[in-house]
Each structure stands twice: as C-alpha cells, then as structure tokens.
Amino acid sequence: RLWGSGPSVWHKNYPVAQGNRQSPIDIVPHQALHDPSLGPVVLNYDQCTSMNITNNGHSVVVQFDDSDDRSVIQGGPLDNPYRLKQFHFHWGEKGCHGSEHTVAGNSYASELHLVHWNAVKYKTFGEAATAPDGLAVLGIFLETGDDHRWLHVITDALYMVKFKVSTTVNCFNPKCLLPSSLHYWTYLGSLTTPPLHESVIWIVLREPIIVSEKQLGKFRMLLFTGEEEDQRIRMENNFRPPQPLKGRKVRSSI
C-alpha cells in the first residue's frame, strides 16, 4: 500500500467506506442461504473485444470495447445483461495472501475481478457506477499450483507495463480464465477501491483457478510508480481487507 493512502484512511475522503454495503467481505459458506431461485450465471464473451492492458498505478487492468453487447454476463442474480468493461487483479507479496474476499477466514493468493455494467438501465459506465444495481463484478480466486495455460498471455505482457503505462492486447477472451464450475455466492456490495461506490452486485465463484508461483511473481514485479519517479515502489498487497457484513445475507447457487 502506498504510504498514508491505505484502506484504513480512505474513509476520510470517502465516508462511504464505512457504509452498510462495503466490499470485500468474508464469505462463510455454511451461513450462506442456498437460494434455489438463483439460476446459473451465463457468460457470453466475444472473441475479440479486448483492447489494451494498463498499469493504472494500483492494479493492472485489461480494458474492453463496451460500445455494444458483444461481451455480457447475465442470469444468476442479474435482472439484465451487464456489459464487460474491464478485468483486473488483486494480489499480495507472497503466497497465501492477496485476495480481497475470504472464505471462512481463508484468503487466496490473488483475486480476478471482471467488471460489468448495466447498459440497459444506464447510459454510461460512470452513471451505472453510482447506481445500486449499476455494476456486476465476477470474482474469481487464484490459487498457486501448476502454470495456467492461458494466463501467460496476460503475464507475458506485464513487463511492458512495469511502470504506469498501457499496451495493446487484442482478441483475449477472458472466458479462458474461468474455473470448470460456475457455482457462486452473491451479495450486494461496493467497489473495493476508491470511490467505493455501493453499486456492485457481487458474484464470487467458489472454485479457484490454478496459476503458478512464477506467473503470480510477474504481477509482483509491477510498480505503483511511473518510470520518471526515483522511488521504485513494487505493486503488491493491492487488496482491501474484508468489511463488516452489517446484516447482509449472502446467497449461494450451490
């Protein structure tokens, strides 16, 4: 975390940080309500809507062309299709810490977020990002083990965005980053980085994907800082800790 700008001080500039539907949370599987009315999550991702990969100073983000409904998520807890805007990762400086959501108090090495917005009800991502049903983020845990055969497309591009810059990535379909089971937990929450808007319907997959320590290591060599800055601050621990549930119910499709 950058000096003096970590999650513990965000509430000074973003009072919503202490709101009633903040994310991430600790998911306790046995306390989740199995809701049989929750259908499967359906992902229709087009082959070639990815555009670029950017180091934005607090994560590495792959942006998509969201000018039409080519890549959408629907079903599950969602009343409309939500358009894929970007995906990014959160990770730690070593093995078992780095995810944002935890499961029964256990954290994973990293967490992938696929950020979608409700283009049926709202005209722009910015407008959707401030609406209670504006965003849907699919969370996928990353666990260390064997090499992930497709993640290398992203990790091999990371050296090009070591500093805060951007480079093109085309025809990367994030469907290749999904685990085999789409069983999920869902709850109403927020963005996990400022401005922390309480506008996210969270869908967190139970099954992690497996990536190698070597692939994760390439995230850790990214820098928060730009090339011109003399301080070389490694980008690691860019995860917010779990927030109070404040009476919310977590439902499970399982």
Ligand X SMILES: NS(=O)(=O)c1ccco1
**Under the rule (CB under 6 A), what is the footprint of ligand X?**
113, 115, 137, 191-193
Locus of tokens 């990353």: 142
Cβ proximity to ligand X: between 118 and 192 the closer is 192
Cβ proximity to ligand X: between 232 and 248 the closer is 248
Q: How far is the CB of 91 from ligand X (least distance, A)?
A: 12
Q: Which of Zn ion, ligand X, none has residue 138 at its interface (CB below 5 to 8 Å by kind)?
A: none
Stretch that binds Zn ion, among 106-114, 117-125, 162-170, 219-227 (CB under 5 A): 106-114
Q: How far is the CB of 147 from ligand X (least distance, A)?
A: 25
Phi and psi at 72, nearest 5°, equal -135, 160
Residue number, nearest CB to Zn ion: 113
| Spatial separation of the C-alpha atoms in residues 64 and 83, rounded to whole Å | 10
Within 10 A of 46 (CB to CB), how many other CB atoms are there? 17
- Nearest to 118, CA basis, from 64, 81, 145: 81
Sign of CA dihedral 61, 67, 71, 76: positive
Q: Which of ligand X, Zn ion, none has residue 115 at its interface (CB below 5 to 8 Å by kind)?
A: ligand X
Those residues with Cβ within 8 angstroms of residue 3's Cβ, 6 or more apart along the chain or in another chain? none
Q: How far is the CB of 115 from ligand X (least distance, A)?
A: 5
Contact between 206 and Zn ion by CB under 5 A: the answer reads: no
Residues found in the chain: 254
Check if 58 is active-site: yes
Q: Which of Zn ion, ligand X, none has residue 119 at its interface (CB below 5 to 8 Å by kind)?
A: none
Cβ proximity to ligand X: between 14 and 212 the closer is 14
# residues near Zn ion by CB under 5 A: 1
| Spatial separation of the C-alpha atoms in residues 48 and 18, rounded to whole Å | 39
Contact between 113 and Zn ion by CB under 5 A: the answer reads: yes
Catalytic residue among 11, 30, 34, 58: 58
| Spatial separation of the C-alpha atoms in residues 254 and 33, rounded to whole Å | 9
Q: Which helix (H) or strand (E) holds 142?
A: strand 135-144
- Give the residue numbers marked as catalytic: 58
Residues that bind Zn ion (CB under 5 A): 113
